[in-house]
Amino acid sequence: MTVRKRKKKHRMRGNRTHGGGNTKNRRGSGVRGGRGRAGGHKHKFSTYMHDFGVKKRLKPKTLKQKALNLEELERRIPEWIEEKKASREANGVIIDGKKTGFFKILSEGSINEKIILKNLKASKKA
């Protein structure tokens, strides 16, 4: 069941300013220095007009490239062969970067079998 809440105007009865601070602050738009962009080149210049006339745009999305170390690569080979993301042939294991979802091979660790990389970058040390 919903809880019934008294409206603010009823809660503020007997409070004189009803949460508005000093009574001077509850007058017309003169309190806020005019409506909208009024005074943009005078009293509101620094507040509102610092980005006037500037077109804001989003930065282009950068594709995050996933990398993989040699030791991790060797550990995942049997798993990828099972999932048909890699294949074992006479001249070595062929790994396709697009199927595995990786972009680059890094040099940490070592491998024991011959590997042929397709659609993959490799660091100088790797």
The model's pLDDT over 99-121, given as tens digits with 9 standing for 90+, comes to 888 888 888 888 888 888 888 88
pLDDT above 70 for 48:
no
- Per-residue tokens: 7: 């409206």
C-alpha–C-alpha distance, residues 97 and 77, integer Å: 12
| Domain annotation covers residue 92 | yes
**Which residues pair with residue 93 across a beta bridge?**
88, 115
52/73 same-domain check: no
- How many domains are contained in the chain? 2
Query: Measuring CA to CA, which residue among 118, 115, 122 is closest to residue 76?
Result: 115
**Angle at CA 31, nearest 5°, toward 51 and 11?**
115
- pLDDT band of residue 57 (cuts 50, 70, 90) is confident
Please tell me the pTM assigned to this model: 0.48
Longest dimension (CA), the chain: 91
Do residues 81 and 52 both lie within one domain?
Answer: no
CA distance 68 to 12: 63
Q: Classify residue 14: in a domain, yes or no.
A: yes
| CA dist., res. 73 & res. 75, Å (int) | 5
Range of the domain at 105: 67-122
